Structure 1
Amino acid sequence: MLNRIDHLLPKLSPAEQRVARWVLAHPRQAAGATLAKVAEASGASEPSVIRFCRRVGLRGFRDLTLRLTEALSRPASYIHRDVDANDALPDAVSKVIDASIQALVDTRALLAMMPLEQTVAAMQAARQLVFIGLGASGHVAGDACHKFFRLGIPCSALIDSPGIAQMAAIARPHDVLVFVSTNGAWANSARAAEIANKRGATVIALTDPMSRLANAASIVLPCEPVEDTGVYTPMRSRLAHLAILDALLVSLALSMGDEASANLRASKDAISSQYSDVTSRQQP
């Protein structure tokens, strides 16, 4: 929660920034404070405190105190540490692993704010699932497609701008488009999400909840791990996105019940029979 507030600080209004800076400087006091106390201590109004809470993805002030309490109770060994050019190899590897653990811990803390039941319901009623991502997020989209189709729902993955634009232009009601993006800043993706939404498709976005992509989505799964700016490809956000999609897969399978179980069993049996055929042909 504290990493998230710090990361979003430049995007907040001046009044919201005053609240954010006070919370970052006094997290333990904020966790046990009243709304009036936070407003007075930060030099902001009570409505500004409420707006701050919503701007960082929380439902309200009570949610803020709960998330701060959770953040302060985490093991100190998980504190974020970026890799430095002077780090020895074992230290660098340890920092990468620690950062990966932290990304998943931070994602777990956001689960209460995610409309998971609404997302699963939309997926279960889908005519087709289309997973969309550009760059590194395209690999996440492909991984999701590889897993979700085994439930018996038609799936595809789109990882290029022309394909994404064309899909949005022909999207129909009961199509579910799942956009995966670390910061939601790609204009082409946001434009496609807006078009698909207008055509009646359900647009799900795993992204920064304050991004243009999030604004264009029907359902937003807030996910914005703090990335190390010293590397050139998303690492922590990729892990968070993969974990959320895996959780949605399991939840969808449970919701579908026997139908999902039968499809998963059939897909596994199909692979097993192919493996058996290859093995038998190789035997002398």
Structure 2
Amino acid sequence: MAIEEKIVFDAAEPEDGAATAIDIFQKLVAAARSPDRTMAGLSQWIIDNQGRAAGMSISNLALQTGVSETTVFRFCKLLGLNGYKDLRFALAESRGLALGAQLAGTAAGGEEHPLASIMRRVVEVNSEQLLKTMSLVSFAALQEATQAMLAANHIHLVGFGSSAPVAFDAYQRLLCLGLTASAHSDPHVLAAVTASARPGAVFFGVTCSGRTRDLIEAFETAGTRGLKRIVITSDENAPAAKVADIVLVSAVRRSPIAREVIATRISQLAIVETLCVALALNHPEAKDIIHDTALLDREIAKKRLPARKPT
């Protein structure tokens, strides 16, 4: 079964405690999406009760979650850890990092606006997403994706639901770089496009869960036709990753409440932005692109209303 494979997000294991702490929730979220209900339920309970889990013995955790100690140990091995001690350490380390970030952002004194703490938390979460993304994404995969997109005669961006805006944003950025691209979020249109795409086209998908059926089916069809497939997903072991040629891993939120929110989208957009900069720098006509981008900016500026003169 697929669940028996280790849930790993990068070929290189982190050497320091901070990297392990950042990575543990990525692995827990992937395990929570597993078809194995026992492992998924155990992982979700730990995500929902991370503070309690960090201080519990293996016997207490097993009793609380209704599984055996052997199951808990096997769960730790599936996460790529040596044992339960490593899991507790990673959870405790992650709590410490989160608390440190909160304390660092606390106002030095005086009364604070009620919305200040909310905004601080929003900024903390989004900053954490960017740091996670750098620790998870493979730079070799980014380089390979850049080369594949530069060699493509057409780049088809694919995204559904909350991933659709990211795919459309990537589409607009590629147009600004002078690359031929299109964005698809309708499954019927995507089916027609996949069946008729010319040789040399590249399909670029965005899916947080990696389990979007329409995207997976499109990638399978594209694969049978010998077309390159790139995917941004938060789960390297998801079905979409298994049918892609290049996998770019994005970060997920620490909180179990709505994983596919703006913080997750920021992680995906950071990867898109990195690719676009790499495309611009490595394009054989880089100088012309810079000139054309400036020209495009001037044309778009014509669409804006002039500033009002002071009365």
Scaled by the length of structure 1, the TM-score of the pair is 0.70
1:157 aligns with one of 183, 206, 210: 183
CA separation of 1:113 and 1:2: change in aligned 2, threshold 3 A = farther
Per-residue deviation at 1:9? 3.4
% same residue: 24
Distance in structure 2 (CA, Å) of the matches to 1:52 and 1:279: 55
Give the conservation status (yes or no) of the 8 Å contact 2:130–2:267.
yes
User: Which residue in the other structure is 2:294 paired with?
Assistant: 268
Residue 94 (structure 1) shift: 2.2
Task: Give yes or no for contact 2:203–2:229 (8 Å, CA) kept in 1.
Answer: yes
Paired position in structure 2 for 1:242? 269
Match of 1:95 among 93, 114, 121: 121
Counterpart of 1:253 in structure 2 is 280
Q: Note the aligned Cα RMSD (angstroms).
A: 4.1
TM-superposed CA distance for 1:219, in Å, is 0.9
Residue 5 (structure 1) shift: 2.5
Give how far 1:104 is off: 0.8
Unaligned runs of 5+ in 1: 27-41, 57-63, 80-87
Matched ranges for 1:1-284 at <5 A: 1-10=23-32, 11=34, 52-53=79-80, 76-78=99-101, 89-112=115-138, 115-207=141-233, 208-226=235-253, 228-231=255-258, 234-257=261-284, 259-272=285-298, 275=301
The residue type paired with residue 108 of structure 1 is M
Please say if residues 253 and 261 of structure 1, whose CA atoms lie closer than 8 Å, have aligned partners that are also in contact. Answer: no
Deviation at 1:155, TM superposition (A): 1.0
Tell me by how many angstroms 1:196 deviates. 1.0
If the length of structure 2 is used for normalisation, what is the TM-score? 0.64
Unpaired segments ≥5 residues, structure 2: 1-22, 47-52, 56-71, 103-113, 307-311
Higher relative contact order (CA 8 A, sep 6+): 2
- CA change 1:229–1:197 in 2 (3 A) is same
Q: 1:4 to 1:183 in 2, by over 3 A?
A: same
Query: Residues of 2 paired with 1:191 and 1:155: CA distance?
Result: 20
Change (3 A) 1:110 1:238: same
